[in-house]
Amino acid sequence: MQRPLATTQARRAGCRPPPQAQHRERMTTAHEARSRLRFDSLEHVTTPDGSGRVSVRLEWRGEFFEGTVSCLETQQGILKAASQAALAATLQSTVSVTASDIRLEVVGVKAVRAFDGWVVVTRINGNAGVDSYRLLGAAPCEGEEDLPGAAVKAVLNASNRVMEQRVAR
């Protein structure tokens, strides 16, 4: 990490860097330490028997993790499958890390029409070691066709709070 010039010059002179340089340095360090799963892609396929399948791909530090769940071909069925696939990919990302004691489950997911748009809200319960969590995530979207992606983002909004604390250490 390259420090700002004001910080480097102040340290060489044996004095404290200016407050704005200290703040900028703390922000950079916190940002570099921060690590979150990111939404990469979502694929929804209708199978010949009339049901469907939703696959979600997440990215974390250059690695990709995928979760796939079967679904009913209804709006609620697709939302539920998208959120469960996102959570499956999230939990798959913990396998390579020492955070395998994390257990999360989707309790519910709901799309709500609000202010000429949509908001998807999801509730996740979980355990990590001795800690238990009741997490809530939400994500907006403009059109009905974007609801599955918003469901994935709502899951990440809720689960990244736990994952960031446990996995990114």
Per-residue pLDDT of the chain (169 residues; tens, 9 = 90+): 444 444 444 444 555 555 554 444 444 444 444 478 889 999 999 988 888 999 999 998 888 999 999 999 999 999 999 999 999 998 888 765 555 577 889 999 999 998 889 999 999 998 877 888 899 999 999 999 999 999 999 999 998 877 766 555 4
Domain that holds residue 123: 36-167
User: Residue 120: inside a domain, yes or no?
Assistant: yes
User: Residue 7: inside a domain, yes or no?
Assistant: no
> For residue 12, what are the contacts with CB-CB under 8 A and spacing of at least 6?
none
* Rounded (5°) CA angle 50-55-61: 175
Distance, in Å, from the CA atom of 5 to the CA atom of 17, rounded to the nearest integer, reads 10
User: Residue 44: inside a domain, yes or no?
Assistant: yes
User: Residue 24: inside a domain, yes or no?
Assistant: no
Q: What is the pLDDT of residue 14?
A: 53
The model's pTM is 0.74
Distance, in Å, from the CA atom of 52 to the CA atom of 90, rounded to the nearest integer, reads 21
Nearest of 89, 118, 94 to residue 106 by alpha carbon: 89
96: CATH: 3.30.160.270
